[in-house]
Structure 1
Amino acid sequence: MSLIQNQSLLFRAVEETRPGEAWLGLFHAFWPSYRRWYLQSGDAARPYYLPCVRALQAHMPELMPTYETLVNLAGGGDLEARFLSLFCPPPYVSACSQAVWPGEHPVLVRNYDYPAQLCEGVILKTTWNGRQVMGVSDCLWGLLDGMNEDGLAVSLSFGGRRDVGEGFGVPLVLRYVLETCTTTAEATAALARIPVHMSYNVTVVDRTGEFATVYVAPGKPGDIRRTAAATNHQHKIEWHQHASATATVERHRRLLLMLQDSELSADTLIGAFLQPPIYSTAFSRGFGTLYSAAYWPTAGRADFFWPGMCWPQSFAHFTPGERLIQFGEAQIQT
């Protein structure tokens, strides 16, 4: 018989220039779940407050005023402060695909593949440090992908290695890049130097069309590569079970073949992100595509899209609101 498994996720677009009531509302909504996640291995498994703050001051000092504001809004507690530093958080594994079409009007396209119950689903637009930034929120102030008003766009995907080390959760590093950098060169330099706790691939493009992907991993400087596509491995396959489950090789091969086509258009590339093997329906296994996004640096626009629906946002015309997205997975049982 045919069995349809349905899941849903409420996506919200939220705009707040400085951290205030809107961010606090998000904190109250998500903190119980994040608290459980952060303490899953016990309080002693996470670093104390002072190492967290010192690491943030040492590697991303420009974020300190915002960090302190958020901690105060959250009540100023020790646990909240440690969590918001995103220093040495618990490990987490996603799938994801991303690619840059470096034409006259470049675009960064990405799919985010992850369990629906673990995704905030918040498109957040801020001006926390004098620069407009919009993107998909994670861990309450980190970003899974995003763009700033200078036309710098970034996106992350899991790097396919199980190693965990001392460093930051990479969503906060993406926030830092968009808050402080204007060009791909500046962004890749920051990504190469800031320590991360797991392996990720971060793809970057600026308004000139200059692009790169940085392979970051714990305990080593980031490896800057002039490649326009990334899925869930770096130099080679190291976690074969994950690679097989997520089809990282097949997705990467498909993107590279498309990008080698001189006739490729931005629309064609975007359309491919809604088709297999790049688009995933493996929702029951936690690797289904929860959303797709296309960031247009020269237009200051981001299109968030799903099969049959697009939700455009821009710095000039950002529209707060909600969209309930339904996900379905058909499985044939014999």
Structure 2
Amino acid sequence: MQLNWRAISEAEPGPSWAGLFREYWPAYHRWWVREGAEARPGYLDSRKALRAHMPEMLPLYEQLCELAGGSDHASRFLSFYCPPPYLSGCSQAIWPGEEPVLVRNYDYSAKAFDSLVLRTAWQGRAVMGTSDGLWGLVDGINDAGLAVSLTFGGRRVVGDGFGVPLVLRYVLQTCETAKEAGEVLKRVPTHMSYNVTVVDAQRKYLTALMAPDRATVITNAAVATNHQERVEWASHARFTATVERERFLLQRLTLHVEPEEKFIGAFLRPPLYSSAFDQGFGTLYTAVYRPWQAQMELRWPKAKWQLNLNEFHDDTRVIFTPEAAL
């Protein structure tokens, strides 16, 4: 399977972002209206929710809506408020070496993936991460050395809240420490259940278990897969092997501290690496975040791409991903 990746930097929202929106919008629009536009909240409700829960983001949101053309559908989509439900796989863990390192696999459909790393300096905060929805992020790092990543929480409940990629963007735009991030994750509502792992430059970390129908639980877990405190969606758990992947990672972290490179390499092989691409749960990439170095590294079984927040260069990569188990 071939994926064409891009790394793009634009300090303030401008022509590069507007061009990306024009390119991606037709596919995103089809997804957003698949249940009918009336199934999504209106513009005023969406903007009101942003103002209530993420007020610092409102000027940026309005700027992006204008660049996107200002249409009703585009503006509602960009709010990330109550989007259509979507599922992913994913594994993530914090390697307990001298330098904090966050490692994650992103298991999702290649047909619904941006294949894009964005480096921005919006509102004076430098942020780099893997794009979703053109300003949301599924993982990323900021100039304070705060790194964050998400996994699906393994529950079918859908409620009123935001798509979690925008919540990750909000954390990186406004927080510098894991403690600050935890406070944000406790108060911002999400439309589905997600596990968000955060690590900062002081080696403090947490995993927030977010859900639309109950209070967020802040834990000191260094590992997250696709369930929360217990399995609540048995068929999804079996299909994604969430319990097996969690046990595998916990065993590697608790029995002995192995070298960083060996730990990262485990993400590129089963049981963590998934080849279920035809079912929408293949491993599209492994990301390694090093807060002390402001560094993000993308890995695949036969390729590696290193990006630095402070020395970022626009670039492209053509990645051929194995479609069979390694």
TM-score using structure 2 length: 0.98
User: Residue 81 of structure 2: which of 69, 76, 87 is its match?
Assistant: 87
Q: What is the SS of the residue equivalent to 2:129?
A: strand
Per the alignment, residue 293 of structure 2 pairs with 299
Gaps of 5+ in 2: none
Contact 1:214 1:224 in 2 (8 A): yes
Alpha-carbon displacement from aligned partner over 1:145-198 (angstroms, at most 9, x marks no partner): 000010000000000001000000000000000000000000011001100000
Q: What is the SS of the residue equivalent to 1:298?
A: helix
Are positions 1:58 and 2:81 aligned together?
no
Q: Which moved more, 1:52-61 or 1:317-326?
A: 317-326
Q: What is the SS of the residue equivalent to 1:167?
A: coil
Q: Which moved more, 1:276-285 or 1:152-161?
A: 276-285
Are positions 1:30 and 2:24 aligned together?
yes
How far apart are the structure 2 equivalents of 1:313 and 1:102?
A: 22
Per the alignment, residue 3 of structure 1 pairs with none
Residue 265 of structure 1: how far off its partner (Å): 2.5
Are positions 1:317 and 2:311 aligned together?
yes
Contact 1:132 1:149 in 2 (8 A): yes
Per the alignment, residue 238 of structure 2 pairs with 244
After superposition, residues 5-154 of structure 1 pair within 5 angstroms as 7-154=1-148
Per the alignment, residue 326 of structure 1 pairs with 320
- Structure 1 stretches of 4+ with a deviation exceeding 3 A read none
1:330 and 1:289, CA in 2 relative to 1: closer, same or farther beyond 3 A?
A: closer
Are positions 1:271 and 2:280 aligned together?
no
Residue 104 of structure 1: how far off its partner (Å): 1.9
Alpha-carbon displacement from aligned partner over 1:278-321 (angstroms, at most 9, x marks no partner): 01111111111001100000111111111121100012221211
How far apart are the structure 2 equivalents of 1:265 and 1:192?
A: 34
Q: What is the SS of the residue equivalent to 2:258?
A: coil
How far apart are the structure 1 equivalents of 2:318 and 2:258?
A: 32
Per the alignment, residue 156 of structure 2 pairs with 162
Q: What is the SS of the residue equivalent to 2:118?
A: strand
Q: Which moved more, 1:256-265 or 1:116-125?
A: 256-265
Alpha-carbon displacement from aligned partner over 1:15-60 (angstroms, at most 9, x marks no partner): 0000111111110111001101110001110001111000000000
How far apart are the structure 2 equivalents of 1:14 and 1:110?
A: 21
- What amino acid is the match of 2:62? E
Contact 1:18 1:126 in 2 (8 A): yes
Q: What is the SS of the residue equivalent to 1:143?
A: strand
Per the alignment, residue 218 of structure 2 pairs with 224
Q: Which moved more, 1:188-197 or 1:315-324?
A: 315-324
Q: Which moved more, 1:274-283 or 1:83-92?
A: 274-283
- What amino acid is the match of 2:30? R
Contact 2:301 2:321 in 1 (8 A): no
